[in-house]
Amino acid sequence: MSKPISDYALVGDTHSCALIARDGSVDWLCWPRHDSPALFLKLLDDDKGGSCAVAFADLASTTRRYRPDTNILETTFETATGRARLIDVMPVNPPAPEPEEGPDGEGESRLIRLLTCEEGTVRGRFTVRPTFDYARRPCTPETDAGSVLFEAGDWRLRVNAEPCPRIEGDTAEVAFTLAAGETAYLVLTHGEDSEGAGIDDLAGAERRIAATEGYWRRWSDRCTYRGPYREAVLRSALCLKLLTYSPSGGIVAAATAGLPEAVPGNRNFDYRFTWMRDATFTVTAFVMLGYVREASEFLRFLRERDPTYGRETRLMYGVSDDIPPEEALTHLAGWNGVGPVLIGNAAEGQDQHDIYGELIRALCVFLEAVDYDPPEKVNDRLPEVLHNLTARALENRDEPDSGIWELRTGPRQQVHTKAMIWVALTDAARIARHIEGVPAQTIAGWEQAAAEIRAEYLDKGWSEAQNAFTGAYGSHHLDAAVLRAALFGAIDASDPRLRTTLAAIERDLGAGHLGAGDLIYRYRMDDGFEGDEGAFTACAFWRIGCLALDGRTGEAKAAFERMIARGNDVGLFAEEIDPATGEQRGNTPQGFSHMALINAALRLDASIDKYGLVAEDPVEPERRAAE
DSSP 51-114: EEEEEETTEEEEEEEEPTTSS-EEEEEEESSEEEEEEEE--EE--SSPPSSS-SSEE-SEEEEE
pTM of the full predicted structure? 0.95
In the predicted model, is pLDDT for residue 627 greater than 70? Answer: no
Architecture of domain 222-626: Alpha/alpha barrel (1.50)
Rounded CA gap, 158 and 193, in Å?
Answer: 8
| pLDDT band for position 625 (cuts 50, 70, 90) | very low
Pairing of strands 468-469, 244-245: unpaired
Rounded CA gap, 377 and 29, in Å?
Answer: 35
CB 273 within 8 A of CB 248: no
Long-range contacts of 304-311 (CB under 8 A, 24+ apart): 304/248, 304/249, 305/248, 305/250, 308/388, 309/381, 309/384, 309/385, 309/388, 310/359, 310/384, 310/385, 310/386, 310/387, 310/388, 310/389, 310/392, 311/388, 311/392
pLDDT digits (tens, 9 = 90+) for 473-504: 999 999 999 999 999 999 998 899 999 999 99
Domain boundaries of the chain, sorted by first residue: 5-220, 222-626
User: What local confidence, expressed as pLDDT, does residue 378 receive?
Assistant: 65
User: Domain 5-220 falls in which CATH fold?
Assistant: Beta-galactosidase; Chain A, domain 5 (2.70.98)
User: What local confidence, expressed as pLDDT, does residue 194 receive?
Assistant: 47
Pairing of strands 82-89, 576-577: unpaired
pLDDT digits (tens, 9 = 90+) for 191-213: 865 444 446 688 989 999 999 99
Rounded CA gap, 123 and 571, in Å?
Answer: 30
Average pLDDT of the segment spanning 246-273: 95
Rounded CA gap, 139 and 586, in Å?
Answer: 30
Q: What phi-psi label fits residue 461: left (phi over 0), alpha (psi between -120 and 50 degrees) or beta? A: alpha
DSSP 435-494: SSS--HHHHHHHHHHHHHHHHHHHHHTEETTTTEE-SBTT-----TTHHHHHHTTSS-TT
Rounded CA gap, 462 and 472, in Å?
Answer: 9
DSSP 625: H
DSSP 512: G
CB 549 within 8 A of CB 607: yes
Average pLDDT of the segment spanning 39-48: 97
Average pLDDT of the segment spanning 584-595: 97
Average pLDDT of the segment spanning 245-259: 96
